[in-house]
Amino acid sequence: MDILNELPEEKFNQVDDLLAFVSIYDDQARLEAYRQMLNACRDKLRGQVCLEAGAGAGVFSEWMARMGARKVYAVEVNPLLCRLARERLAHYPNVEVIQADIQNFKPLEPVDVLVHELFGQLLYDEDVLALENLPFQPKTMLPARARLACGCVPASRLVDTTVTPSVLQQLEGVLVSGLFDEEGLALTDTVLTWQPGAVQCSVEKDISHLSGELLYFGLEIWFNGRPICRAGECSNWSYVWTPRAGNRFALRFEPAGRGMQVRFAWLD
């Protein structure tokens, strides 16, 4: 979905994010993984103060209310998504929808469980870092582990009449999501990991042991010692591709005006 007419910048950004974030609800595998995660934590949620950080349309907040949370804060920075969440959650007296950046939100009571899905396709390219700067300390964060991994495949396996070898050549040094519709690729090598309080936003990675002319990255979200969402299985996260131009690369994430800046370069 693209916005086609001229709009004031603020309005454009709000609607652009709205369109991006409503489309994540198409990903049934993602929703089901989160539903199962929350269900497995039902006893932790019941009677507790819960918070959805980056609530979007408030689906997880609704589930937590239904699972018996005593109080749910649904915190969402985008005013248009906040409106959607308010509509969805209007009939839950114990759910409060708050339009705020999670980094500025101070709940009136201690938060027992914080639920979030702030992962980008490259792990740190959305807003998971906001969780490092919370003005409160939740007892439990769900999920609390993710990794960005990579692998290589022969280009001959994937090139077609649209993305030809010549097209690929033009993409050296460029990370492109969704370039191919491949599914189920092995995420053999860890590139970066995330855990609350243990972020790793920069890496130099040696891939000389991998064979194949196409490098791909894929995200994995973990719960209870196993991946629950994965690029290639959950449509919300596609593989990110780039033609291989060496055996070592650097990947770095830096906060930018809006979102995160991703820097990628081949080292040799």
Ligand X SMILES: C[S@@+](CC[C@H](N)C(=O)[O-])C[C@H]1O[C@@H](n2cnc3c(N)ncnc32)[C@H](O)[C@@H]1O
C-alpha neighbours within 13 Å on the C-beta side of residue 18: 15
Residue 238 touching ligand X (CB under 6 A): no
Nearer to ligand X, 78 or 242 (CB): 78
Tokens for 94? 């114990």
Cβ closest to ligand X, residue 118 vs residue 203: 118
- 30 close to 221: Cβ distance less than 8 angstroms: no
> In the window 106-125, what residues touch ligand X (CB under 6 A)?
117-118
Chain positions 63 to 92 lying near ligand X, rule: CB under 6 A, are: 75-78, 81
Does position 194 bind ligand X by CB under 6 A? no
Peptide bond into 79 cis (omega under 30): no
Instruction: Report the phi/psi class of residue 178: left, alpha or beta, with left for phi > 0 and alpha for psi in -120 to 50.
Output: left
Count how many residues are written for the chain.
Answer: 268
Amino acid identity for residue 29 in this structure: A
The stretch near ligand X (CB under 6 A) out of 63-71, 97-105, 165-173, 246-254 is 97-105
Binding mask 161-190 for ligand X (x = CB under 6 A): ------------------------------
Contacting residue, 33, 55, 158, 251, with ligand X by CB under 6 A: 55
| Span of 98-106, 186-194, 218-226, 250-258 interacting with ligand X by CB under 6 A | 98-106
Among 13, 103, 140, 200, indicate the residue that binds ligand X (CB under 6 A).
103
CB burial readout 55-77, b (16+ within 10 A) else e? bbbbbbbbbbbebebebbbbbbb
Q: SS3 of 60, please?
A: helix
- Choose which of 33, 59, 89, 168 interacts with ligand X (CB under 6 A): 59
- Residue 17 near ligand X by CB under 6 A: yes
Work out whether 229 is an interface residue with ligand X (CB under 6 A): no
Among 14, 15, 16, 21, binds ligand X (CB under 6 A): 21
d(CA 89, CA 72): 10
The maximal CA–CA distance of the chain, rounded, in angstroms, is 59
Two structure tokens written together for 40: 């497995």
**What's the rounded Cα separation, in Å, for the pair 228 and 33?**
6
Tokens representing 210 are: 């991998």
Q: Does 33 engage in binding with ligand X (CB under 6 A)? A: no
Summarize as ranges the residues that interact with ligand X (CB under 6 A).
17, 21, 24, 52, 54-56, 59-60, 75-78, 81, 101-103, 117-118, 127, 130
